Structure 1
Amino acid sequence: MTTTHTPSSANLTVTHVLAELLERLEHSQQPVGPEQYLSVVNHLVEAFGDVTPGMELGALLDTHPAAAELYENINYQYAGLCRSPLQTSLSAEQQARQVIERAMRSSNKGTPYGQS
């Protein structure tokens, strides 16, 4: 049986292969050259430009976190952190705030009478 690909599904196939490669590079136990990494990222950015957003792309991004992060960064100006879970972002913000407050309290203890 011969399978024909529409341009969109062919582009999604290329995008999928590049997303797989990026995941392998991200999790490689061997050192990866910066040129190789940058080449994969640049090709994936180009491939994202040729793919129509939709359920198939969403499914690909759900299974490839490095590609999803790249896609989100590319589209940040339009949608912000649209693929990041809100609870994770909120939790990170709360933790940062707590660390800053502790640091401020610690620095005030070192000055006379708690004044800075």
Structure 2
Amino acid sequence: MSAHSFALQRSNLENLALLAGTFERVERSGTSLDAQQYLVLVDRLKDALGADLPTEGLNAVLSAHPAAAELYENLHYAHAGLCRSPLEVAVAAESAARDLLSRLAGASRA
């Protein structure tokens, strides 16, 4: 890996860590944030999650910031499902979603 590539990944990881920490505080604080500010924060965090990042560093940030990990899962759900959730929680969530969709389909027929 070149020095430039390493420096870019480090910068991307530092940016992700700062945004993930901010997002965690906002999500867990219980105080409301202006909707536009929230959207800007989420958009920046999404961009940071899509940047060139070392896998180990990404995993460390996501492990330290559950709100960012949840956003990461939602962004990658189509490809990986609930890849960061414990298996029991993921299975229960998918089962509940399937049951809800079945009930809704039945209600629309009636």
Is TM more than 0.5 here?
yes
Residues 92/11 of structure 1: CA separation in 2 closer, same or farther (3 Å cut): closer
Q: Secondary structure at the match of 2:12?
A: helix
Choose between structure 1 and 2 for higher RCO, CA contacts under 8 A separated by at least 6 residues: 2
Aligned to 1:61: 62
Number of residues of Structure 1 aligned to a counterpart in Structure 2: 95
- Aligned partner letter, 1:90: V
Moved over 6 A (4+): none
Aligned to 1:83: 84
Higher percent of residues as helix? 2
Aligned to 1:104: none
Aligned to 1:25: 26
- Aligned partner letter, 1:48: L
1:32-111 matched pairs, under 5 angstroms: 32-92=33-93, 96=96
Superposition CA RMSD, Å = 2.5
Query: Identity, % of aligned pairs?
Result: 44
TM-score (norm 2): 0.74
Paired residues of 2:20 and 2:45 also in contact (CA < 8 A): yes
In the alignment, the residues of structure 2 paired with residue 35 and residue 83 of structure 1 have an alpha-carbon distance, to the nearest angstrom, of: 28
- Aligned partner letter, 2:72: Y
Aligned to 1:16: 17
In the alignment, the residues of structure 1 paired with residue 24 and residue 55 of structure 2 have an alpha-carbon distance, to the nearest angstrom, of: 21
Question: CA shift at 1:10, angstroms?
Answer: 0.3
- Could you list the runs of 5+ residues in structure 1 that have no partner in the other structure? 101-116
Residues 41/59 of structure 1: CA separation in 2 closer, same or farther (3 Å cut): same
Aligned to 2:103: none
In the alignment, the residues of structure 2 paired with residue 28 and residue 56 of structure 1 have an alpha-carbon distance, to the nearest angstrom, of: 25
TM-score (norm 1): 0.70
